[in-house]
Amino acid sequence: GNSVTQMEGPVTLSEEAFLTINCTYTATGYPSLFWYVQYPGEGLQLLLKATKADDKGSNKGFEATYRKETTSFHLEKGSVQVSDSAVYFCALSDMASGYSTLTFGKGTMLLVSP
């Protein structure tokens, strides 16, 4: 079956530090990969996605590259801000069925201090 493993948190950083949150996956098919973010008190929001090998998803300064050879989709940002404090979820979607049921990792909490 499909599964997603991401690094445990919390990740605590100072403002302007470099961020990496590791994510690896196991999938039977050829999945699409996603990062979702959950800000305090809000619903899950799609942050970025990649649909095929070597694709790079990017949004709001965050990036992640679909690495099929290492089955990874690590999230990076060059300079974090306090407003980036949230829980980040790596997820995959196997579209073989024609619709997207997401398989999520456990989430990684990011805390950024001024």
Among 14, 45, 79, 113, interactor with another protein by CB under 8 A: 45
23: nearest Cα among 113, 92, 97, 81: 92
Find all residues with CB under 8 Å of 42, minimum gap 6, and list them: none
Q: How far is the CB of 6 from another protein (least distance, A)?
A: 8
The answer to the question of residue 4 lying near another protein (CB under 8 A) is yes
**Among the residue ranges 12-20, 42-50, 59-67, 75-83, the one whose residues contact another protein (CB under 8 A):** 42-50
Query: Can residue 1 be called a binding residue for another protein (CB under 8 A)?
Result: no
Q: Could you say whether residue 65 binds another protein (CB under 8 A)? A: no
Q: Which residues contact 84 (CB under 8 A, 6 or more apart)?
A: 19, 77, 110, 112
Q: Pick the binder of another protein from 23, 50, 80, 91 (CB under 8 A).
A: 91
Residues near another protein (CB under 8 A): 4, 41-46, 89, 91, 95, 97-107
